[in-house]
Structure 1
Amino acid sequence: MKLEDELNPVIIIIFHILVGLYTLLTFIPSCLFSMFSSSDQIHYGSEQDRAKRTKARSVSGKPEGPYRAVSATTGLQTTVQPGVDTLDKMLAYAAQKFPNSDFLGTREVICEEDEKQSNGKVFKKVILGQYRWLSYQKTLSAARQFGSGLLALGQKPKTNIAIFCETRAQWMIAAQACFMYNFPLVTLYSTLGGPAIAHGLKEAEVSFIITSRELLETRLKAILIEVPRLQHIIVVDDSPTSWPGFPRGITVHNMAAVQKLGERPENASCERLQPLPSDIAVIMYTSGSTGAPKGVMISHRNILAGITGMVERIPKLSEEDTYIGYLPLAHVLELSAEMVCVSNGCRIGYSSPQTLVDQSTKIKKGSKGDMSVLRPTLMAAVPEIMDRIYKNVMGKVEDMSFFQRTLFTLAYSYKLDQLSKGNSTALCDRLVFRKVRSLLGGRVRVLLSGGAPLSADTQRFMNVCFCCPVGQGYGLTETCGAGTVSEMWDYSTGRVGAPLVCCEIKLRDWLEAGYRSTDKPHPRGEILIGGPNVTMGYYKTDPRMQEDFVVDENGQRWFCTGDIGEFHTDGCLKIIDRKKDLVKLQAGEYVSLGKVEAMLKNCPLIDNICAYANSDETYVIGFAVPNQKHFQALAEQHGVRGSFIELCNNQTMEELVLKVLTEAALAAQLERFEIPRKIRLSPDPWTPETGLVTDAFKLKRKELKSHYKDDIERMYGGK
């Protein structure tokens, strides 16, 4: 018998004795604390009890809805503070209430170094210092100066201005200036390709654009000839101060110089045209998972309504909170999250995916990532990033000693059980999960997930290891990112929560796929979101392309999402399908590609997967990016040799991966016809830079189909 087999029962017994003693010793103090705690503290009970608590109900009494949050007792809510009905008023309110509080934080760059890798590649590494902060009052002044400077240069109210820049403090200052001076802000992702950038700039007819030095030199400069209306480029970096080599008619300015221009008495005294709630605040170009990006017109009222709904779901927001901003501000999730912070006086410390944690690609070994220095209390993430964290930590768990791994597994199982009962686990949190929690700085109290469905395994992992609730949400650019967010005390998985207080949701039958609001036990159908957060439509788009926006007999706007959902008895929504992801096979079976991908992404062997099916074929195929560590271990186990690229092109490895995925699919209870029969392995990860996924890491099916065109023909036998 192995020593591990002898130790295992002993470790389990010791663990349960320690936990039992701890529970016994803390039982009386916890009861006393409950008795004498403040009256506003709520004890939510077990997971079963929480599931019974009603979060939303159908206001019509019919199964199709509309469903409204039980907390929306006085109708749909549109403002966080009375009288604050435009975004410029929100910043003015925050600057008045929290004038000297820290607002926007940027880490000081101490030095940059080129680090040569063993394969000859050179990576740029940075050593960063502490965060430097701008207060709310100074940010208000900086925004006012910048807006006044733009006005002096010739930017007109109600005339579009574009921002094409990475997430940083200057982005927010520029946006606040545009809100203040009623310049509709056209947002473009910093990872968009040249044709998409040119399309957005030409369609919006901008003559001013705000950008960074890097993006100007690497992306924007090459397409200037395609945008003849462009006259002024404002660079947010301080240096250089002169910009030669640009086409005639285009002037490049530094942001600091524009602010100084706005400080001049003759410009500072100019009267500004204040925006109305119905005025356009943002024209947000979507990342375009299908076709060319579309500009979504978002009014001041829309954004304020959306963040009002989000604020209600995040408990005890205050100036004591610190949010880490690293997702693209051109995405509605990040912009809404940061505006939530503005409404409550929170700090926003800026970061990037390349400097986020100690192990990030640009952080020099031995120095600290932004999470470790900032130690945020609030964080938003897309499921792709959470899945990476989950796989990374679980990979490290596998490398632990037997004793450490057993202790971790026992603590994990114990805490899961205690969470389901509504109990805290201070001992486990301190002894076992403290090191994992420190990866995010050690203070995160709320994690907000959006952009795509979050797997149950990843959500449970974040709940347990990071010792904080994960608020899973659902919304679209067309609804200002607002739709639903789960209550922070609701630890159920696979659901996105109840409608926010700013909107309501109803279901529409989709008979073609067999979804009806009369379905038992849960009503099902296409999700329609209605309320003041529903945006104004698509910019300069054919009316026929606006058919997803409808107005009912009461004048309320609704957006038809194309997503299929079901409402549970407590009023929580679950996303179960998507119209555009549904493919009918030759034999008549419907396959939800998104559902297949969601199930298979939980497999540790792969980092990403795209399912594909032709309607004139009888089976599903797939493209997958393997997890290098697990993939090479599988190859070694079966005696297959070669580099990572060679292994990805090896037919034997394709068959081995397919076997593992088939087992995972059957375990997830997928039907046989839903399981990919053939697969293509990709050694290159899918990133926004490759153009195969959006900035929110959603699959671009059209681009993936084109990229793997030859492989599709091969896997379908040359058809």
Structure 2
Amino acid sequence: MHFQVWLQSIQANGRLKVPESEDVWSLLPSFPLSSFSLSSLSLSSPYLLGIGALASLTVYWLVTRPRPMRPPCDLQAQSVAVEGNPSCRRSALLKDDALLEFYYEDTRTVYDIFKRGLRIAGSGPCLGFRKPGQPYQWIPYTEVAAQAQMLGSGLLAKGCQPNPEQFVGIFAQNRPEWVIAELACYTYSMAVVPLYDTLGLEAMVHIFNLAEISLVFCDREEKASSLMDNKVKGAVPTLSCLVLFGDFSGDLLERGKECGVEVLKLQELMDLGRQNLKDPVPPQPQDLAVVCFTSGTTGKPKGAMITHGNIASNTSSVIKILEGSFVIQQEDVSISYLPLAHMFERMIQVSMFCHGARVGFYQGDISLLMDDIKTLKPTFFPVVPRILNRIYDKILGSVTSPLRRTLLHYAVRRKQAELSSGVVRNNSLWDKLVFNRIQASLGGNLRFILTASAPISPVVLSFLRATLGCLIFEGYGQTECTAGCTFSMPGDWTAGHVGAPLPCTVVKLVDIPEMNYYAKNGEGEICIRGHSVFRGYLRDAERTAEALDSDGWLHSGDVGQWLPNGTLRIIDRKKHIFKLSQGEYIAPEKIENIYMRCFPILQVFVHGDSLQSYLIGIVVPDPEVFADWAKERGFVGSLEELCQNPDVKKAVLEDMRAVGKEAGLKSFEQVRDLYLHPEMFSVANGLLTPTLKSRRVDIRRVFQEQISSMYSKSAP
């Protein structure tokens, strides 16, 4: 009967139509296949066979067709005005103006969060590591918890106090011992002070004395030795104990004895704790968890005091946003390579631990990261925009023939069309034909990518959402609000904004008259208030007052704009603005982000000052595409030779000006001269912070000669 109705519908309408009242699967068994035999086929059998095949294909498509992701709220109203003030907004996911403190009743501290993961995973894998050329080895949750308790008991035996005023330093790259040491501190309510290589001697001494650190965990003897040097000089008088994750020489031990610093292996301290095992002293939400020192792009580093409640509310807010579209599962695994000394990576790991998921660490060498990813096959990939830009450039650079390039861009457009309807998948025809090798290069299992720390080009974001076939979210925030304050909404795959406020925060815009930004126009400095806003800077009331006003609003220094759908767009930067000699205000980071869209450019630094009337730039070409770009314009040579060629410089400048004009830069915002530099800005050469932001003061110092030269001659 069902099939007859179907055929009648085809004959009447000239097209295939499934009766609305029917379940598509019910159509299959009703078709009398048993009544068919070769002898019963008439002259019209090919027609019927064709109809049957078409019907079967249609049913298959109806059942297996991709379903759009259901957004958790109206995507045209992702945030709600607070108390009728359109410039002050909260998440539309909240029922009222009460902000979210925690998602699960039993996750109010970082210690609680790990304990929840322990209950879920038990002896399941927690922390992974590998040696060159070998598979990952895993430390189970039960072992991590046991080691943390023993290590924390060892700290108590060495005189550390079980309270949040006890600061313990960790001076190491990402590795399992880092997390175990941190958890050991939280098990006994102590606070962690992360340290990192690029702080420099003066900043390191400042942190030690400000936090009065006596015990530090180190991963390598060289780091312990550098701290010992400062002890010998009398620069860090409070230092009394160094705990190394691995072996060390007898020389370090002897030097320690001479200057009053005890040097221990991690295992020795753990053995001491095993012999003097103490019951945990869990922290409270209001207790200090970490003092996270900013990287000090200007002045001495500031120690942002982050509480357990800050971390719990921030983590809970992301879980709340993703609850209907992406639930972290025990089988999920994240790759850890972004610095643990900063909050972005720490929040990723806390989210994984909350659900009993796994974290695998890279080998410590960024050049081996892709090999680590292929081996680990992560489902969760936290990134910064520079990494996504490199992936984007690599994909485009690998497609050399016009035919393949045309096919790639057509496939991208087809996948982007799916995205616009809310469909995210990696099993389409285009994924199998065009994107499978790209996805395999990142392990082949990616479900989720989160980009933060800096703006990302909408072109790059849309392109990678299509090619990688997984969820890619963008977040915005800073250390002082724990990590994030806004986050992309599931189902909203548009680009050019950073999402709506997290459920733990309220975001408002305030006037910046000198830059002509006014809240009444939906523009102004981004200010944040809520459960994830930090307590202030450690023992620095003056700079705390600059960041936090009397009503508890954190002033970010970034300039935002509310979009009609309730999302936030970052449009400018207040902190690094300067005036040109004619009185025009310049926000160099906004201009740099625009110039980064220029195909041959990998990095750019825009400079100007109040004594000059125009801007200049330091440009690092992308070595993977620059030679081909130059060759298309008739230039050949090594990267160094091309950078010294004035005609090449002129061509790059023309491209930059064209991109700037298209993006709406005013004439005084365009650079009028530039210097091409063949070596990348990096953390190693001191020109980037560990979160890959430009060290503006250091870049100006390193390129002072070139800057002076460009200003001393007539502008081109």
TM range (shorter): 0.7 to 0.9
Once the two structures are TM-superposed, the CA of residue 680 in structure 1 deviates from its matched residue by 1.2
Aligned: 1:286 with 2:294: yes
Q: Distance in 1 between matches of 2:470 and 2:280?
A: 44
Aligned: 1:141 with 2:128: no
Number of aligned residue pairs: 651
What are the equivalent positions in structure 2 for 1:262-273 lying under 5 Å apart? 262-264=273-275, 267-268=276-277, 270-273=278-281
Q: Distance in 2 between matches of 1:215 and 1:466?
A: 40
For residues 434 and 580 of structure 1, do their structure 2 counterparts lie closer, same or farther at Cα, with a shift above 3 Å needed?
Answer: same
What are the equivalent positions in structure 2 for 1:161-172 lying under 5 Å apart? 161-172=168-179
Once the two structures are TM-superposed, the CA of residue 466 in structure 1 deviates from its matched residue by 0.6
Once the two structures are TM-superposed, the CA of residue 473 in structure 1 deviates from its matched residue by 0.3
Amino acid corresponding to residue 175 of structure 2 in structure 1:
R
Amino acid corresponding to residue 700 of structure 1 in structure 2:
R
Aligned: 1:78 with 2:101: yes
For residues 488 and 679 of structure 1, do their structure 2 counterparts lie closer, same or farther at Cα, with a shift above 3 Å needed?
Answer: same
Aligned: 1:31 with 2:31: no
For residues 499 and 410 of structure 1, do their structure 2 counterparts lie closer, same or farther at Cα, with a shift above 3 Å needed?
Answer: same
Aligned: 1:665 with 2:681: no
Q: Distance in 2 between matches of 1:325 and 1:345?
A: 16
Once the two structures are TM-superposed, the CA of residue 633 in structure 1 deviates from its matched residue by 3.6
Q: Distance in 2 between matches of 1:604 and 1:70?
A: 39
Give secondary structure in 1 for the equivalent of 2:304.
strand
Q: Distance in 2 between matches of 1:674 and 1:576?
A: 14
Q: Distance in 2 between matches of 1:244 and 1:659?
A: 60
Q: Which of these residues, 449, 462, 465, is aligned with residue 463 of structure 1?
A: 465
Amino acid corresponding to residue 176 of structure 2 in structure 1:
A
2:617–2:675 contact (8 Å) kept in structure 1: yes
Q: Which of these residues, 258, 272, 282, is aligned with residue 261 of structure 1?
A: 272
2:69–2:491 contact (8 Å) kept in structure 1: no
Q: Distance in 2 between matches of 1:610 and 1:24?
A: 60
Once the two structures are TM-superposed, the CA of residue 263 in structure 1 deviates from its matched residue by 0.6
- State the identity %: 31
Q: Distance in 1 between matches of 2:299 and 2:305?
A: 18
1:538–1:546 contact (8 Å) kept in structure 2: no
Which ranges in structure 2 are unaligned for 5 or more consecutive residues? 1-52
2:90–2:502 contact (8 Å) kept in structure 1: no
Aligned to 1:541: 540
Q: Which of these residues, 315, 322, 326, is aligned with residue 307 of structure 1?
A: 315
Once the two structures are TM-superposed, the CA of residue 222 in structure 1 deviates from its matched residue by 4.2
Give secondary structure in 1 for the equivalent of 2:592.
helix
1:325–1:350 contact (8 Å) kept in structure 2: yes
Give secondary structure in 2 for the equivalent of 1:79.
coil
Q: Distance in 2 between matches of 1:491 and 1:620?
A: 35
Once the two structures are TM-superposed, the CA of residue 568 in structure 1 deviates from its matched residue by 1.5
For residues 42 and 655 of structure 1, do their structure 2 counterparts lie closer, same or farther at Cα, with a shift above 3 Å needed?
Answer: closer
Once the two structures are TM-superposed, the CA of residue 238 in structure 1 deviates from its matched residue by 5.0
Once the two structures are TM-superposed, the CA of residue 410 in structure 1 deviates from its matched residue by 1.7
2:636–2:642 contact (8 Å) kept in structure 1: yes
Aligned to 1:407: 407
2:509–2:526 contact (8 Å) kept in structure 1: yes
Give secondary structure in 1 for the equivalent of 2:398.
helix
Give secondary structure in 2 for the equivalent of 1:369.
helix
Give secondary structure in 2 for the equivalent of 1:648.
helix
1:69–1:500 contact (8 Å) kept in structure 2: no
Aligned to 1:684: 679
1:131–1:374 contact (8 Å) kept in structure 2: yes
1:383–1:452 contact (8 Å) kept in structure 2: yes
Once the two structures are TM-superposed, the CA of residue 71 in structure 1 deviates from its matched residue by 3.5
Aligned to 1:428: 430
Normalised to the residue count of structure 1, the TM-score between the two structures is: 0.85
Aligned to 1:193: 200
Give secondary structure in 2 for the equivalent of 1:515.
coil
2:581–2:612 contact (8 Å) kept in structure 1: yes
Q: Distance in 2 between matches of 1:26 and 1:433?
A: 25
For residues 26 and 448 of structure 1, do their structure 2 counterparts lie closer, same or farther at Cα, with a shift above 3 Å needed?
Answer: farther
1:235–1:255 contact (8 Å) kept in structure 2: yes
Aligned to 1:579: 574
Aligned to 2:25: none
What are the equivalent positions in structure 2 for 1:215-294 lying under 5 Å apart? 215-216=222-223, 219-225=226-232, 226-237=235-246, 243-247=252-256, 248=258, 249-264=260-275, 267-268=276-277, 270-294=278-302
For residues 167 and 635 of structure 1, do their structure 2 counterparts lie closer, same or farther at Cα, with a shift above 3 Å needed?
Answer: same
Tell me how large the CA RMSD over aligned residues is.
2.6
Q: Distance in 2 between matches of 1:23 and 1:193?
A: 70
Amino acid corresponding to residue 596 of structure 1 in structure 2:
I
Q: Distance in 2 between matches of 1:394 and 1:51?
A: 35
Deviations 1:599-641 (Å, cap 9, x if unpaired)?
A: 1111121110011111232211111111124333455456656
For residues 140 and 663 of structure 1, do their structure 2 counterparts lie closer, same or farther at Cα, with a shift above 3 Å needed?
Answer: same
Aligned: 1:566 with 2:561: yes
Amino acid corresponding to residue 393 of structure 1 in structure 2:
I
Normalised to the residue count of structure 2, the TM-score between the two structures is: 0.86
Q: Distance in 2 between matches of 1:466 and 1:32?
A: 24
Which structure would you say has the larger Rg?
2
Amino acid corresponding to residue 299 of structure 1 in structure 2:
T
Give secondary structure in 2 for the equivalent of 1:518.
helix
Aligned to 1:174: 181
2:420–2:494 contact (8 Å) kept in structure 1: no
Amino acid corresponding to residue 682 of structure 1 in structure 2:
H
